[in-house]
């Protein structure tokens, strides 16, 4: 998978059909720890509204590319505005000579928002955007990157649920039409 896409996809998928993991400060803190953007400060745990706003932009942009459309200029402008609010410098790490991005923002919330928006911008600005898909399984709708041709669902679990539902529907239809029923 395109590693830089992981935070952006995780943000987009933080809103499920029945649950919003960013609805509470505890949910925000837990989610940020899970995606590797912790440890979470008290300020950042209370940043649900900002994270939900950014998530709406990312979902809008990913939804457009998953449907083969360009994201709207307004959405792209708002993503760029968030990115501009957290400038980053590149530094070389001594001894290993690895490049590291260092956000110039002092606020932990701004650093988190900046990391998420940079992930989204890298994904949308790369060739990987052509592989963005939205899971068609009923009740899912998660975003994922297509890794092999023919893949339809975000996970094996979604694929299995769809196949089981189709199988049960065929059996129900066969019983309803009198085929396959026992005397």
State the Cα–Cα distance between residues 50 and 47, nearest whole angstrom.
5
Which residues neighbour 170 within 8 Å (Cβ) at sequence distance 6 or greater?
none
Q: Is the pLDDT of residue 3 over 90?
A: no
- pLDDT at site 38: 82
Residue with structure tokens 């998660």? 142
State the Cα–Cα distance between residues 45 and 16, nearest whole angstrom.
20
pLDDT digits (tens, 9 = 90+) for 9-26: 999 999 987 899 999 999
Low-confidence winner among 79-83, 101-105, 118-122, 124-128 (lowest mean pLDDT): 101-105
Picking from 47, 130, 106, 119, the residue whose alpha carbon sits closest to that of residue 79 is 119
Q: Is the pLDDT of residue 129 over 80?
A: yes
Q: Is the pLDDT of residue 2 over 70?
A: no
- pLDDT at site 96: 84
Contact (CB, 8 A) for 68 and 129: no
Dig out the tokens for 34 from the structure: 């899970």
- pLDDT at site 40: 87
pLDDT digits (tens, 9 = 90+) for 62-75: 999 999 999 999 99
For residue 46, give Cα distances in angstroms to 23, 27, 30, 150, 183.
Answer: 10, 10, 12, 41, 64
Picking from 134, 140, 132, 131, the residue whose alpha carbon sits closest to that of residue 161 is 140
Report angle CA 90, 31, 89 to the nearest 5 degrees: 10
Contact (CB, 8 A) for 117 and 125: no
State the Cα–Cα distance between residues 162 and 176, nearest whole angstrom.
21
Q: Tell me the CATH number for domain 3-147.
A: 1.10.3300.10
pTM recorded for the entire structure: 0.84
Average of per-residue pLDDT across 69-97: 93
């Amino acid at each position: 998978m395109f590693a830089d896409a992981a935070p952006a996809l995780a943000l987009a998928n933080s809103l499920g059909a029945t649950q919003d993991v960013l609805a509470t400060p505890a949910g925000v803190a837990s989610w940020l720890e899970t995606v590797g953007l912790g440890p979470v400060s008290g300020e950042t745990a209370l940043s649900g509204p900002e994270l939900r706003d950014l998530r709406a932009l990312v979902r809008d942009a990913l939804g457009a590319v998953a449907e083969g459309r360009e994201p709207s200029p307004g959405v792209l402008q708002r993503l760029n505005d968030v990115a501009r609010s957290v400038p980053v410098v590149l530094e070389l790490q001594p001894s290993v000579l690895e490049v590291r991005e260092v956000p110039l923002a002092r606020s932990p919330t701004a650093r988190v928002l900046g990391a998420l928006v940079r992930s989204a911008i890298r994904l949308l600005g790369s060739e990987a955007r052509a592989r963005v898909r939205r899971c068609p399984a009923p009740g899912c709708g998660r975003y994922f990157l297509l890794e092999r041709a023919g893949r339809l669902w975000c996970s094996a679990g979604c694929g299995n649920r769809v196949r089981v539902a189709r199988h049960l529907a065929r059996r129900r239809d066969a019983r309803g039409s009198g085929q396959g029923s026992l005397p």
